[in-house]
Amino acid sequence: MITANQYAQALYGAIQETSPKDQDKVLDNFAKVLAEHGDLPKFAEIEKEYLKISEHGDGIRNVTVTTAREMPVAESLIKELNLVVGNRLKVKKEVDPGLIGGIVIRADDTLLDASVKKDLRDLGKEISGK
């Protein structure tokens, strides 16, 4: 059984190796392969995986910025994050009132937690000696 990620990787590789004028043929053949294997229902998942692979190949990193309240992500913050991660960023904003205040930034497997909730949790551990 071929996974959506495997299909996406194969499609990405084929597209990268093909001239732009022939990419429609690659997509047509890809659709035929999906149909032959009964995997057309996986198309949405394959597309999602393809976009991840494509963004990674283009040097784009997905970053999630979570705050306790709705707030615009300042352009200066994005510039600073670009310096830290060394890539272009695609920023997704989330709101989590449970953070109380502060900010949490997640870029792939890197986490920067500067939330009040974390500070209170750390203080509680320090007080309890754990």
62 touches 90 (CB < 8 A): yes
What pTM, to 2 d.p., does this model score? 0.60
Residues facing 105 on adjacent strands:
65, 112
Question: Would you give the end-to-end CA distance of the chain in angstroms?
Answer: 47
pLDDT digits (tens, 9 = 90+) for 9-25: 999 999 999 999 999 99
pLDDT digits (tens, 9 = 90+) for 22-81: 999 999 999 999 999 999 999 999 999 999 899 888 878 888 889 888 877 666 777 777
